[in-house]
Amino acid sequence: MRHAVLLSLVMAATWLVLSGYFIGMILTFGVISIALVVWMTKRLAILDDETVPYLNIVKTCKYYVWLFIEIVKANIQVLKAVVSPNSEISPTLVKIPMRSNIDIAQTMFANSITLTPGTVSVDVREDHILVHALLKEMSNPEDFYEMHSRSAGAVSIGLKDK
């Protein structure tokens, strides 16, 4: 029930912000649309924490602040390597074990890797992510474990030990 209420509130706020109209007929269409969407998600049995992740918004925002700082650090590292006269570029492929089996946590982790300059998620499997790193020092598994823990924590999902 709380998922349905939260989804309704988020959709209502989005509707009001994006439409900008407060006319009775348009508000009625909005209420009908929201009720229809909530009913369909409930009927499809997909109304859960993964579909309605808004309860973790503070944790997610904290994660994005941390990720932004990591992106800035990686930008500086890549810039130094590329601009350096004796280029130290050492492309590396590394398998990073996947420690969560929840889709949203895996997606957030893979996207975070790709957003970070110098690293790209090449292949995502159930048990690992294949990552291409521009520099050998960017392929340290411990750095990825920290990112994975933080991204999974942003969606309040526990990690399995590997």
Domain residue ranges in the chain: 2-43, 56-154
Asked if 91 contacts 133 with a C-beta cutoff of 8 angstroms, the reply is yes
In this structure, the number of other CB atoms found within 10 A of the CB of residue 127 comes to 10
φ/ψ of residue 84, rounded to 5: -55, 135
Q: Do 53 and 155 contact (CB within 8 A), yes or no? A: yes
pLDDT for res 157: 59
Q: What is the model's pLDDT at position 162?
A: 46
pLDDT for the residue numbered 159: 54
> What b/e readout covers 35-71, taking b as 16+ CB neighbours within 10 angstroms?
eeebeebeeeeebeeeebbeebeeebeebeebbeebe
Per-run averaged pLDDT (10 residues), the chain, 162 residues? 89 90 91 95 86 77 92 92 82 89 85 93 92 89 87 69 48
Q: What SS3 state is found at 52?
A: coil
